[in-house]
Amino acid sequence: MMYGALEAGGTKMVCAIGDEYGHIFDRIRIPTGTPQDTMPLIIEYFSQYELESLGIACFGPIDLHKGSTTYGYILNTPKLAWRNYNILGTISEALGIPCGFDTDVNGSLLGEVTFGCARGLTDVIYLTIGTGIGGGVMTGGRLLHGMLHPELGHIIVNPRADDNYAGNCPYHGRCLEGMAAGPAIEKRWGQKAEMLTDNNTVWKLEAYYIAQALCTYIMTLSPQKIILGGGVMHQNQLIDMIREEVASMVGGYIDTREFRNIKTYICTASLNDDQGILGAIKLAIDCKL
């Protein structure tokens, strides 16, 4: 069977063709312009194939409620051209095939649960730390949507006593995203995050904020595993610092088999940055069931 997969991001759209085994046969990247420029290219690409269905893992916020009049719309995104845009309806009408739809981070999570390091698990969190911070949640084997969908990047964190940075979230200032996403690192230290590899102080502070957030997720959602992705996690030294901080902040209170094995409990994404597109394939498969 051939399925289409669209990973819709604020900077690029990745379109791919794959099968139920997680093989990807072809893919293209299209820079994200306005819907008027970008959507025809996406539709033209998928029209070349005879597809069973298509999965869309989309930047948000988005409407995931099937009964809603704006189901499949992108909601109040800062990307103004995409605000209140019916991305799902536009594609499904043009292609005439069933389409699955979820957040980009739930897509990445689903990719890891289906084809990657979280196979067989039912309670998993995927957190991406990049231009923004966002997270997908699976609980009891289902992707969590709730009222809107989880916004794991916008939880409030305690500033470290020596950190005077004001935070750069336009809504909350010092939320996790405002303190620890790539642009926050760059503004606080005056250099792009990728140039700061050798500065241990930077990554100790980064680990401190990410670990606080992970402790909150562990205590509230009780995941069996937490997977960390996004550009900032390409700093290989960071993951161990995060594990150490989490263990220290949890303070011995959680003592499960999963948590004791902290190297597998908190891990980096396992699918070479294909987790989102592979999750979109699974969204395509599942929307036909």
Contact positions toward Zn ion, by CB under 5 A?
A: 154, 169, 171-172, 175, 177
Separation CA 212–CA 45 (nearest Å)? 42
Tokens standing for 165?
A: 């940075």
The answer to whether the beta carbons of residues 126 and 229 sit under 8 Å apart is yes
**Helix 200-221 to helix 182-189 angle, to the nearest 10 degrees?**
150
Nearer to ligand ADP, 235 or 275 (CB): 235
192 contacts which partner out of Zn ion, ligand ADP, none, CB within 5 to 8 A by kind?
ligand ADP
Tokens standing for 233?
A: 């996690």
In 9-98, DSSP assigns E strands to: 12-18, 24-31, 53-58, 73-74, 85-86
Report if residue 134 touches ligand ADP, rule: CB under 6 A. no
The answer to whether the beta carbons of residues 208 and 245 sit under 8 Å apart is yes
Q: Which stretch binds ligand ADP (CB under 6 A): 23-31, 92-100, 163-171, 231-239?
A: 231-239
Query: By beta-carbon distance, which residue lies closest to ligand ADP?
Result: 182
Residue 163 CB, shortest distance to ligand ADP, in Å, is 18
Report if residue 130 touches ligand ADP, rule: CB under 6 A. yes
Report if residue 235 touches ligand ADP, rule: CB under 6 A. yes
Nearest CA to 158 among 221, 197, 215, 199?
215
Nearer to Zn ion, 9 or 173 (CB): 173
18 contacts which partner out of Zn ion, ligand ADP, none, CB within 5 to 8 A by kind?
none
DSSP state of 117: T
Nearer to ligand ADP, 131 or 270 (CB): 131
Q: Kindly report the number of other CB atoms within 10 A of residue 191's CB atom.
A: 13
Q: Cα(first)–Cα(last) distance of the chain, in Å?
A: 14
Residue 233 CB, shortest distance to ligand ADP, in Å, is 8
34 contacts which partner out of ligand ADP, Zn ion, none, CB within 5 to 8 A by kind?
none
Q: Kindly report the number of other CB atoms within 10 A of residue 140's CB atom.
A: 7
Q: Which stretch binds ligand ADP (CB under 6 A): 77-85, 113-121, 156-164, 225-233?
A: 225-233
Residue in 2, 9, 216, 222 binding ligand ADP, rule: CB under 6 A = 9
Residue 152 CB, shortest distance to Zn ion, in Å, is 11
The answer to whether the beta carbons of residues 158 and 216 sit under 8 Å apart is no
Residues numbered 182-201 forming contacts with ligand ADP, rule: CB under 6 A? 182-183, 192-194
Nearest CA to 90 among 3, 2, 1, 8?
8
230 contacts which partner out of ligand ADP, Zn ion, none, CB within 5 to 8 A by kind?
ligand ADP
Give contact residues for ligand ADP (rule: CB under 6 A).
9, 11, 130-131, 182-183, 192-194, 230-232, 234-235
